[in-house]
A and B are shown apart, each in its own frame.
Chain A
Amino acid sequence: MIAQATLSLLLCCVLVYAWAEYRRSPAVALLSFVVSLVGLYFVWVPSHSTRVAEFIGVGRGADLILYLWVCISLIVLLNLHLKLRAQHELITALARTIALANVSSGGAKGVQWRSNEAPRIVSNEDRAETAGR
């Protein structure tokens, strides 16, 4: 009973997570939603899970639940990876904006190249200078 309650609680957490994630990536959310619902069902009707487990060939139903849990973890991991990716897109946009704000005209057009330095993000000294004014 304690194990069942604990597992149910964990799976419910995943359900909440899936619900919260739905707007950002529906595919990941739906997948974890379905997997955790199946997990919940098996936790409370273990005999069915044992039957399914035997059918699949993994031995006991408890093993099946464990494997399901591993699957859910992997899905969460994948989603984290995708979030990182989204963050990287943000960094790209930021870096591009900085780069495009600091275009150097080459010598080819007869325009003197202004600076020998890479475009810089406003440094602390610059900021202090501006604040002092």
Chain B
Amino acid sequence: MQNDGLPSVWVICAAFNEAATIARVVADLRRGGYDVVVVDDGSTDGTRHVAATVATAVITHPVNLGQGAALKTGIDYALSQGAEILVTFDADGQHRAEEIPRFLRALGHQRADFALGSRRLGQSRDMPFARRVFLVAATLFTVATTGLRLTDTHNGLRAFTRRGAVALSLRQNRMAHASEILADIANSGLHYIEVPVTVDYTAYSLAKGQRTGDFLMIVLDLFAKKLHR
């Protein structure tokens, strides 16, 4: 939405078979006054039809490519629409739209180019033990490989300035993109900041989210990336 004087904020929702939640998630975001682009990653449940009734734009991947690829598509589109601030937001309803202004303030006041959500600084409701162990392991791995000082490395709620978004390469199609974004942030040398977020774990978001075993794939993906340029 082009509010005069305010930066143009685009929220990017990558959705794969999220017809059950996408309308509510996007409607919440629209109420906040943001432009929302939904990237339907080859869903088979009509996600794009549901999203089309509320989103500013819907982009459909002809085949399923993975969340990283969907975010990249959405970011490319938002940049082409002149977005000044880009926000990534999970489509499964675990984030809260009312927390976005906190990210915008963090970018504006702290002169940062990346604002990253952190569950450790905020709260998480009903996070299962296995998920907690996975997140700690992933955080340790990322801190060790990128040198960034972060408390949560796999949070889907993030905000970038235009300059920040351009610095992201996002070649990892699947889940390894979360670590890749952080590696790119470290390489860019731009300023980053963590913002506390509340994550609502529901049976639905847990079923949709990463499995703990995915961690192995993330490590493999990143290893392969180091070998092959």
Query: Which residues does A use to contact B, with CB under 8 Å?
Result: 25, 27-28, 78, 81-82, 85-86, 88-89, 91-92, 95-96, 98-100, 102-109, 113, 116, 118-121
Contacts and interface: CB of A to CB of B under 8 A. Distances in A.
A106 B54 contact: yes
B62 interface: yes
Q: Top 5 closest A-B pairs, CB basis?
A: A106-B55, A82-B228, A113-B52, A104-B58, A99-B59
Given A92-B173, A113-B52, A81 B224 contact: yes
Contact of A95 (B48, B55, B57, B65): B65
Interface of B: 30, 36, 38-39, 48-49, 51-63, 65, 69, 72-73, 76-77, 80, 171, 173, 224, 227-229
Given A95-B63, A99-B59, A99-B61, A107 B171 contact: no
A96 B61 contact: yes
**Chain B contact surface mostly:** mixed
Nearest to A86: B228
A102 B73 contact: no
Given A28-B227, A82-B227, A85-B224, A106 B65 contact: no
Given A82-B227, A96-B76, A100-B77, A106 B60 contact: no
Nearest to A114: B52
Count chain B CB atoms within 10 A of each CB in A81, A104, A120 and give the residue with the most: A104
Contacts of A91: 63, 65
Contact of A100 (B54, B59, B227): B59
Nearest to A24: B228
Contact of B62 (A28, A86, A109, A118): A118
Given A95-B62, A96-B76, A106-B57, 9 more contacts: A91-B63, A96-B69, A96-B72, A100-B80, A104-B57, A105-B57, A106-B58, A107-B53, A118-B62
A92 B41 CA distance: 11
Given A27-B227, A92-B69, A108 B62 contact: no
Nearest to B72: A96
Contacts of A109: 56
A107 B52 contact: yes
B60 A102 contact: yes
Given A89-B171, A95-B65, A96-B76, A25 B51 contact: no
Q: Considering residues B63, B224, B227, which has the most beta carbons from chain A within 10 angstroms of its beta carbon?
A: B227
Max chain B C-beta neighbours (<10 A), residue from A25, A98, A99: A99
Given A96-B69, A113-B52, A118-B62, A88 B173 contact: yes
